[in-house]
């Protein structure tokens, strides 16, 4: 048990350089929320639903993280900061990282009968701050969900999803392999090497080009107008 806890804390430290020791990581709300969830899920599986909910509510009160007792979570799951919601039928693989204010939400069944209505998250997925992953969709292995993206369709393996409604940057996993990307959002400096679209950088370059074109137009108008004025003065 101690060895397993140590391995988990080390996996968190690999993804977050802020803590100096394992003791600091033990104070993280995400670590406590996962611990509470393990107990709540055991009670849920044993059909002790009231006690499972009690542990869930206690965890939410202490950590500001709401994980339904029915959610299935794999190894080395890390929630960096709080205010995250994970629904009942969500399934989360191994080595998944979620940042603050993320929702793994469900859809309301039209027939009123519960079923699979929350996302399935593959191994090594990173979900950025404020992202909303909604419905019984599948997020493929090593996918990245950018900050504030809203994802409502299946995500291919290795894809990076950005925007509202989220769209894939269509970068094949075999062409973009890194151990970890903080916040699930690639740096603009990496765009040339890995061909990931950086929307803000492209928009900035487009604005510069438009300004240069406008300046050229103004210069041409002045040059065309100069001979006319010279002829009038003579």
145 CA to centre of own chain:
4
DSSP string across 82-117: S-EEE-TT-EE-TT-EE-TT-EEE----TTS---S-
What pLDDT, on a 0 to 100 scale, did the predictor assign at position 80? 94
Give, as one character, the DSSP assignment of residue 126.
Answer: E
pLDDT by position in tens, the chain (length 234)? 788 999 999 999 999 999 999 999 999 999 999 999 999 999 999 999 999 999 999 999 999 999 999 999 999 999 999 999 999 999 999 999 999 999 999 987 766 667 899 999 999 999 999 999 999 999 999 999 999 999 999 999 999 998 887 767 655 554 555 566 666 666 655 544 444 456 667 777 888 888 889 888 888 888 877 766 655 555
**Per-residue pLDDT reduced to its tens digit, 76-92:** 999 999 999 999 999 99
Which of 178, 176, 167 lies closest to 196 in space, CA to CA? 176
Give, as one character, the DSSP assignment of residue 222.
Answer: H
Q: Global pTM?
A: 0.72
Report the alpha-carbon distance of residue 24 to residue 72 in Å, rounded. Answer: 26
**Per-residue pLDDT reduced to its tens digit, 126-168:** 999 999 999 999 999 999 999 999 999 999 999 999 888 776 7
What pLDDT, on a 0 to 100 scale, did the predictor assign at position 197? 56
Contact 143, 160 (CB under 8 A): yes
What pLDDT, on a 0 to 100 scale, did the predictor assign at position 172? 53
Which of 70, 52, 3, 60 lies closest to 32 in space, CA to CA? 60
Domain 2-197 in this protein, CATH class: mainly beta
What pLDDT, on a 0 to 100 scale, did the predictor assign at position 69? 98
């Amino acid at each position: 048990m101690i060895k397993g806890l140590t391995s988990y804390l080390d996996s968190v430290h690999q993804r977050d350089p802020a803590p100096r020791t394992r003791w600091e990581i033990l104070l993280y709300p995400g670590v406590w929320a996962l611990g509470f969830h393990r107990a709540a899920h055991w009670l849920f599986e044993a059909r002790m639903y009231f006690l499972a909910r009690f542990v869930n509510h206690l965890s939410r009160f202490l950590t500001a993280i709401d994980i339904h007792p029915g959610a299935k979570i794999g190894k080395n799951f890390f929630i960096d900061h709080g205010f995250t919601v994970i629904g009942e039928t969500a399934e989360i693989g191994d080595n998944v990282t979620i940042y603050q204010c993320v929702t793994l939400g469900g859809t309301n069944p039209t027939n009123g009968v519960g079923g699979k209505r929350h996302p399935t998250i593959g191994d090594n997925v990173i979900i950025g701050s404020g992202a909303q992953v909604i419905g019984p969709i599948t997020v493929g292995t090593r996918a990245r969900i950018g900050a504030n993206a809203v994802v409502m369709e299946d995500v291919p393996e290795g894809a990076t999803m950005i925007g509202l409604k989220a769209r894939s940057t269509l970068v094949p996993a075999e062409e973009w392999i890194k151990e970890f990307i903080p916040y699930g959002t690639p740096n603009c400096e990496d765009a040339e090497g890995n061909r990931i679209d950086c929307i803000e950088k492209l928009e900035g370059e487009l604005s510069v080009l438009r300004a240069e074109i406008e300046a050229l137009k103004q210069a041409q108008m002045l040059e065309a107008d100069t001979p006319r004025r010279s002829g009038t003065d003579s």
